């Protein structure tokens, strides 16, 4: 474990060299990712379509936001802070690709408002890739492979 960060937002990483290189290249810090997550979920909660899906399932937003900061820290800066399983969390949700499109539109907007250009591009590319995987997982759960019998 090692701490780095030159803007006062200290960050703990299991891959300190890789994390430092990613911070350098993208301009992202733990502080910026925290701001991104908080602003993004404020928009999600206010959204007429996505808001109710989240509000029906998340009673206590504090732990969810902490988990999402850890997730983005792991994805964007390879810190290894997130230890969870996103696939099962989405498998039973009433969502189709249109919901992911809306999620991505809000995420792109927030990333561009919050992060330097390189950093925004980095998290947006990752979000698009993960949204496609989650969508396939949701579709797979809804339509199991038919039995051969």
Residue list, annotated binding site for heme: 64
Kindly report the CA angle at 99 between 101 and 67, in degrees rounded to 5? 95
Q: Are 58 and 41 in contact (CB under 8 A)?
A: no
Give the one residue of 11, 36, 37, 50 binding ligand HEM; rule: CB under 6 A. Answer: 50
* CA-based nearest residue to 114, from 17, 34, 7, 49: 34
CB 88, min distance to ligand HEM, A: 8
Q: Cβ atoms within 10 A of the Cβ of 32, count?
A: 23
CB 55, min distance to ligand HEM, A: 9
Residue 11 touching ligand HEM (CB under 6 A): no
Give the one residue of 27, 90, 121, 137 binding ligand HEM; rule: CB under 6 A. Answer: 90
CB 67, min distance to ligand HEM, A: 5
Give the one residue of 69, 100, 106, 119 binding ligand HEM; rule: CB under 6 A. Answer: 100
Q: In the complex, which residue's CB is closest to ligand HEM?
A: 84
- Binding-site residues from annotation: 64
CB 83, min distance to ligand HEM, A: 8
Residue 22 touching ligand HEM (CB under 6 A): no
Residues in touch with ligand HEM (CB under 6 A): 50, 53-54, 57-58, 67, 71, 84-86, 89-90, 93, 95, 99-100, 103, 127, 130-131, 134
């Amino acid at each position: 474990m090692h701490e780095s960060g030159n803007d006062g937002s200290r960050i703990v990483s299991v891959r300190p060299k890789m994390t430092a290189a990613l911070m350098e290249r993208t301009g992202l810090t733990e502080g910026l990712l925290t701001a991104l997550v908080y602003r993004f979920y404020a928009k999600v909660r206010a959204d007429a379509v996505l808001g109710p899906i989240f509000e029906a399932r998340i009673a206590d937003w504090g732990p969810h936001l902490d988990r999402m900061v850890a997730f983005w820290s792991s994805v964007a800066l390879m810190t290894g802070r997130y230890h969870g399983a996103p696939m099962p969390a989405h498998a039973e949700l009433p969502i189709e690709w249109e919901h992911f499109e809306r999620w991505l539109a809000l995420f792109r907007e927030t990333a561009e408002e919050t992060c330097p250009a390189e950093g925004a591009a980095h998290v947006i590319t990752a979000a698009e890739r993960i949204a496609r995987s989650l969508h396939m997982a949701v579709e797979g759960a809804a339509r199991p492979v038919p039995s051969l019998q």
